[in-house]
Structure formats: structure tokens, C-alpha cells
Structure 1
């Protein structure tokens, strides 16, 4: 999964939490104050589906579309992917800044941002998969709309996730609403890959070449462009439909005021403190490698199956196997994490390492399905673990420095910002490697050096990055576990941060 459910722009949403959560009473276990109805929780969860549907489709199929349907050079595809990821990362703190300073309207303070972004993000997503009539500036076309989509997705997700704080005053009900959101977003991730893949499955012919090493590029068929446009329209429609249900079923509550005395350090001052905290620095650097490895593995799976193996007809089934495995194994990894500890759970990430190497060497269907299942297991723990470790790092920092509110914001925002940039760099550089070895869009069979490069990208590159990240994670300082009394004092803040993440 390109991103964990709810992971998109979670950092900027954290920028709203100190203002919204300050001086919020924590009801007792028997309190009914602020209880949310089942309908409200479901409608709130539905609001998170569109971004996950779109992100899942993009993660698995955008590179194939840009290379083989839009027919833009691999170097330009690299710029498109890099520019889009960077625009999403840059929009994260910007969104938190502007939304945190917006005024309340009749619909609330956060809901108007969600409603206002909906039509524009739908159009940006549709045109991202649209084939313009001109050819010379197609790279600029897709760069523009991918950057727009990533930025708008951030401005959509930030107020949506921060809306958790304005549903109710009860932290327990907020956690429950967050659980509904994550469940719906997991379903959206599956829907995105399944629906988009089923629609465009007929857009790519079978890659079988006989007695010809490098045939001329096959012409772009109207059927392929039509199928991608239909798939884009179906996904784009989920935005107004789901946001309409969100608006009908969810009411944004007025937020409590925050006294000026409760303000924490500025962002830059706080960032300087966090990056000098050894446990946090270790966590960020290790998951820079691990997160980038997972994104590379996802992004090149479809290209590998299409051009470097005889698995073209299994692409859709393999993608679904990965996602179903990741979703179903998440509760298991949560139990392992609680039972054996977070460091031991981290070794679950490297389970996929021998299998992806095996797939690169023996690219057969049985091996591919085993690799897809095991990759889903590793993806699940790689998405769960950092959000489980980060609250411990924040607590450890607060116990040592005793700073005011707002430090959670800086920890979460900087973590997501850096991991987004690492993914942008990894995808951009890896796509450039295809340009250097002579990837030719639309041909029936790629050159041997292209096949070898895809095998390296699917096997050796993720393996090296995962092992490097785990080595960094296993050595060095670890956060101290707070005492029970201290844990109770920090529990409200931790639950808020974890929910918004």
C-alpha cells in the first residue's frame, strides 16, 4: 500500500491537535457525554475512502500508464513522480498553517476545506489519467496534474483527519471514530487497486514476441485510452459521493478555546530540538530506508510482471493478494507487537527479502503469489510499526525536556515530511535508471538490460534498503518506558496524536 490508511498528510493534521485538544476534559469510563452514533462513525469513516482509492490506483498503475499509454520518456516520468511527491510533502505544513488560522463558518471550520477541495481534486485526478491530443508537452501536462492532485489531497486529508478532534470531547469516542476511519480506508485501498485494475485490464495486450528481439512500438489504441478514462472517472466520482455522505452524517462541534499561555515552542525551534533527540533521529533515518523500499517494491511490481516476466495476466490477482494479505495481517502484527515487543516485530519487515530475490531469479506464477502474500505481511508491519514507536519517542522526549504542548505536532509533521521526500527520491532515481538502460515505451519486448534493471529494482534495491533500515533501527539509543503514573498523565495527548496519525 502506498500509504497506510490515514497516513496521507497526517502530519499537518497534527498541527491542529494542540489547538483543538487543549483543555479538553477526559470523561470517565461510564460517561455518556459526547457519545457518537453508529451512523456518525460510519459516515466519518466513509469520508476517508476516496483518497485511499485514488492513492492505491496511482501506486500500482500510474507508472505503467505514463510509460506505455501516455508514452512519455522514463526521464520525464521520473520528474513527474518526484515533483508530485515533493508537492505533497511541501503542502503538508502549508495546509496545517492555513487551516489552523481559518475562521469558523456555518458548516464549521474544517468541513468547508473538505467540501471546497472535493470538485478540484476530482478534476485533477481525472485529468491525471487523460491522454491529451498533443505529444510534445505531455510530460508537463502530467507533472501539473500530479502535483495538483498531491497538493489537493493534502488539503483534503488534513482537515478531514483533524475533524476527529471536533466530533466529540470524549477521547474514547475519538479513538472509536478513528478505528472506523482506518477500517474504511483499508477497504478503500482494496477498492482502488481492484476497481481500477479490473477496468484497465484490457488496455494492455499480451506481451508475447516471437522471433523478434525488439519490435517497433505498438500504436496507442483508442480502447486503452478509453478504459483509463473510464477508470479515472469512476474513482473521481467517489470524492463527491463520499464527501456528500460525510457532510450529511457528521456535524462539526465548536472547538474549545486555547489560552495563549499554553503555546509551545515555534516550529523551527522545536524542529531543532527533535532532530537532536537520538531515539527520534534513529527512527526517522531507519524508516526513510524502509518506507522508500516498500514504495519501490509496490511501484515496480506491475512493470516487472509486464516486461520482465510472463506474469502479465496475473497482475491484478497479485496486487489484490498483496493488499488482502496486508489488511488481514494487521491485527496479527498488533498482537505480535504487544506480545514480543517492537524491536522483535521489526524483523517481520525483512520476511519479504528472500522471497523478492527468489521472484527476480525465478519469475513464475506460483513463486509470484507466494511473494505477493509475504510482501503483504511485511508491508503491514512496516506501516504499523513507526506509528506505534513514534508515541514512545514523543513521551521520552517530553519526560526529558518538559516542553509545552505542540511538540507532538513537530514530531509527526517532520516524520511524514521526511518519509515523503525519501519516497520521492527513491522513485525518481529508480525511474531514471530505466531511462539510462534504454526503456522503450510501447514495445512488445524490452531490451535485456531493461529486464535486468527491473529485476534489480524488484529484488536487490528493496533488499538493501530494508536491511540498512533495520540495522539502523536495531542499534543505538531506545526511548525509556514511562512509569504508570507518567503514562496516565500523557495518555490523553498520546491517544490524540496516535488517532490523528
Structure 2
């Protein structure tokens, strides 16, 4: 259970400009001016690249590596796990470097965001590039591992300072919660854009590859037939085109953030250099109980959702009989998640943040049960992904809305520990990515031990059982 200091009503005394040590003598001061709508919107748009690219990778990278690049499940699993482990380790390091950065003319956080963007775009496109089939498997493995790690490092340099920017927008706590709701709405919409663009561009090619199972040799695009070779090459080309489109949107979102948001330091957030060493800062932060409870809750929520996300395309293609239609289910899920954000924002204001978490996350349980039991029924799947989309909106909104409350509680209890906001947010991102790496490793290694082969048209019963009773088992 999450503690009250990380949860419900705004913390007493945090809505006034002079709050902090000795704030009781300044209660008559004027409240800070509210955040204008355009600043909230520009800030929210800045969160699009992380979710847009992250969800495209989450939904499609496994099936890309296995069915398009044709890596073995063991190599794919190892690549994904090592890449996410590297990504997770870089978060605290980048958070510490950001906290040690001086405040410059453009600010302390925004320069990190701007200068990491070109590298992020280039490496994202290279993740989806397919080397020659004559390249040895070991070199293919190293290529994708390097590109994946470089991209994740660039994205960390973007997202850690961006998420920390929540504390430096100005306004009061209600403004901050409102800006977070705008951000989550845009981020869920960006997952819709990213997964939608990727799915609509590559989905029909995956369906074409499944149709190649009708050839007499009974294997997928493993023949020397020119038609089958052309289908695979077209699929690879489609992935590159999708990456270029998403990379362009990445640059546009960064530009809007740069032009529309200016960092606003406060009495407890002077935007200076952190003075404490790394391990001392780490010990103090992880000794704050509300933050630790929130981290643990976020870890298990992310793990459950990302296991389901990573295997969803495989499940629809190979177990549910919906090959070529899973991209439509992804779109429906993300549209529902995006549209339900305002409802959950109202719910948390009316009933509190912890009740919103408990009610919202419970919606996915019946959806997973029905998805496990039903196949070849698109309408039933549509209704279930609607429920899953409502639950996904809670995962996007509530943890990030609760984190600033925990940071405020820490700052009130530790007034001498300044400029550690980036550290707080970096560990939050670290646990999210750790859950992602663990989920990818679990799901892909499960397929490996079940005997999955990319060239098979029909899979043995153990593979189907793994797809049905592994990630989609409600016990997860």
C-alpha cells in the first residue's frame, strides 16, 4: 500500500509561494500566478518522443527481431535484456550528472533535452535497419545491441531532465497536477501515434508473411522463392520508413518544448548544482519511505503491463488467430487510454489518488482472463482491449502524479538536501526500464524454452500454451 505522503490530497502548505522552512510566517503572501495553458501544452508535447518510440519498441521490437531479422529467441532475449539493463543503469548516472550540472542561459535541464535529440533520432532509425543476411549472427547481435544501447542512452539524456522539469514549471501543486494530466494525455496519445504509425505501416506486411505459409514447403519466408524474398524485404523497408516518420515527430516535439517552456526555480528548487556526493545522495533518497513504497508499486505495475505489451503481437498472430489485425487492437487500446485520462484526473481529484490506482488497475484482470480463453473473435477482443485501455491510462497518469508529492514531502523533511529532483526522477525511470527489461527477458526466454522457431508456420502446443498461460495469465 502506498503511503499517504505519496498519494491523495495536496500536501498542506505546498500551494503557497513561500512554503519551506519558516513558511508559517509568510502565509499572507500572494499565491504564484497560475500556469498558462500554452506552457502546459508545450510541456506535455515534450513527453511525446519517449512514449512514441518506447511503445513502438515495446509492441514491435520482439516480433521484428524474431520474424523479420530472424534472430533466434535466445539471442533476441539476451539482446533485449542486456539493452534494457544498460538503459536502466544509465538512468541514475544521468540523473546524477544532471543534478551536478550548472544553470546556464538556456537553463539547467533544457540543454540536456535539446542536445540529446539528434543522437536519439539517428540511433532510433538504426535500430530498425536490417543488415545484410550474409552478416554472421554474432555481428548482427552486436549491431542491434550497440544501436539499442546508444538509442536508450540518448533517450535517457532526454527523458530524465524532461521528467524532472515537472518541478520547475511554476505555479502551485494543483497547476503541477494539471500539467501532469496534460502530459499524460499527450503521452498516451503519442503511444497511439507511435504504435499506430508503426502498426499501420508494417502490419499488412506481417499479414503477407503469414499468408506465405500456404506454400508447399510449410515454412515462413524461408524459401528461395522471389515472391517470399520480396515480402520480407518489403517488411524490412516498411520498418525503416516508420522509424524515419517517428524520428521526424521526435524532432518536432523537442522544438515545441524548447520554444514554449522556460524553467522556473523556486525557494525549495533553486536549480543549482547538487553538493552531495553520489552515494550519499542515493542513501538519503532511498531512505525516504514514501518514495520507496511508490517505487515498489510502480515497479510491479510496470512489470505486469510490459510483459503483456511485449507479447501481445505474438499472441494475436500465433495464438489468437488475429494475424494482421493486432495493430487495430493496439490502436483501439491506446485511443481508449487517451480518452479516459480526463476521467481519471477527475476521479483522483474527487476521490484521491490511491483509490484511483486500485480501481483503475483492477479493470485489466477480467480483460486478461477473457483474452486467455477466447480466440478468433475480433469483437470480443475489442471489448477487452477497451477495458485494458482504461487500466493503461491509470498506469500512465497516477504514478507520475504521485511522484511530485513524494518529492515535496522529502524536501520539507530534508530542507538542506537541495537540487536532487533529477535523482528522484531518474530512479523512477530506472525502475520502469528495469521492469521493461525483465519483462522482455521473461517473455522471450519463455518462447525459447517452448521451442519457438521464426520459420515455422504452425507452432507446437507448448508455444501456444506459453503465449496463452504466460504473460496473459492473470496470476502475473
Compare 95-104 and 153-162 and name the one that shifted more: 95-104
Q: Residues 237, 382 of structure 1: CA spacing in aligned structure 2 closer, same or farther, 3 A cutoff?
A: closer
Compare 89-98 and 337-346 and name the one that shifted more: 337-346
Q: Confirm or deny that 1:301 pairs with 2:312.
A: yes
Q: Confirm or deny that 1:47 pairs with 2:58.
A: no
Q: Residues 226, 404 of structure 1: CA spacing in aligned structure 2 closer, same or farther, 3 A cutoff?
A: same
SS at match of 1:441: coil
Q: Residues 213, 376 of structure 1: CA spacing in aligned structure 2 closer, same or farther, 3 A cutoff?
A: farther
Q: Confirm or deny that 1:371 pairs with 2:375.
A: no
Q: Residues 420, 59 of structure 1: CA spacing in aligned structure 2 closer, same or farther, 3 A cutoff?
A: same
Task: Name the structure 1 match of 2:144.
Answer: 142
Q: How many angstroms apart in 2 are the aligned matches of 1:258 and 1:211? A: 65
Task: Name the structure 1 match of 2:156.
Answer: 154
- Is this contact kept in 2: 1:356–1:458, CA < 8 A? no
- Is this contact kept in 1: 2:128–2:239, CA < 8 A? yes
Q: Residues 183, 50 of structure 1: CA spacing in aligned structure 2 closer, same or farther, 3 A cutoff?
A: same
- Cα offset, 1:426, TM superposition: 2.5
Q: Confirm or deny that 1:326 pairs with 2:333.
A: no
Q: How many angstroms apart in 1 are the aligned matches of 2:27 and 2:71? A: 55
Per-residue CA deviations over 1:48-107 (Å, capped at 9, x if unaligned) read 322222112112111111111011111121122212222222222222222233344454
Per-residue CA deviations over 1:140-172 (Å, capped at 9, x if unaligned) read 211111111111111012233344555557766
Per-residue CA deviations over 1:387-444 (Å, capped at 9, x if unaligned) read 4555666677788x66644577665544443343233223212211111111111432
Q: Confirm or deny that 1:215 pairs with 2:228.
A: no
Q: How many angstroms apart in 1 are the aligned matches of 2:200 and 2:348? A: 35
Q: Cα RMSD (Å) of the superposition?
A: 3.8
Instruction: Report 1:39-438 matches (<5 A).
Output: 39-133=38-132, 134-136=135-137, 137-164=139-166, 168=170, 177-206=179-208, 207=210, 209=213, 215=219, 217-218=221-222, 221-251=232-262, 268-269=279-280, 271-272=282-283, 281-342=292-353, 344-345=355-356, 346-363=358-375, 364-390=377-403, 404-406=416-418, 412-438=425-451
Q: How many angstroms apart in 2 are the aligned matches of 1:169 and 1:390? A: 17
Q: How many angstroms apart in 1 are the aligned matches of 2:470 and 2:366? A: 14
Q: How many angstroms apart in 1 are the aligned matches of 2:124 and 2:109? A: 22
How many residues are matched? 440
Q: How many angstroms apart in 2 are the aligned matches of 1:102 and 1:398? A: 20
**Unpaired segments of 5 or more residues in structure 2?**
1-18, 223-227
SS at match of 2:458: coil
- Is this contact kept in 1: 2:196–2:331, CA < 8 A? yes
SS at match of 1:446: coil
Q: How many angstroms apart in 1 are the aligned matches of 2:270 and 2:39? A: 30
- Cα offset, 1:285, TM superposition: 3.5
**Unpaired segments of 5 or more residues in structure 1?**
1-20, 466-501
Compare 313-322 and 85-94 and name the one that shifted more: 85-94
Task: Name the structure 2 match of 1:479.
Answer: none
Q: How many angstroms apart in 2 are the aligned matches of 1:279 and 1:258? A: 20
TM-score under structure 1 length normalisation: 0.75
Q: Residues 138, 311 of structure 1: CA spacing in aligned structure 2 closer, same or farther, 3 A cutoff?
A: same
- Is this contact kept in 2: 1:167–1:252, CA < 8 A? yes
TM-score under structure 2 length normalisation: 0.79
- Cα offset, 1:455, TM superposition: 0.9
SS at match of 1:430: helix
Q: How many angstroms apart in 2 are the aligned matches of 1:60 and 1:182? A: 19
- Is this contact kept in 2: 1:49–1:184, CA < 8 A? yes
Per-residue CA deviations over 1:336-362 (Å, capped at 9, x if unaligned) read 444455554414323222332222221
Compare 103-112 and 53-62 and name the one that shifted more: 103-112
Q: How many angstroms apart in 1 are the aligned matches of 2:290 and 2:192? A: 34
- Is this contact kept in 1: 2:204–2:324, CA < 8 A? no
Q: Residues 278, 162 of structure 1: CA spacing in aligned structure 2 closer, same or farther, 3 A cutoff?
A: closer
SS at match of 2:299: helix
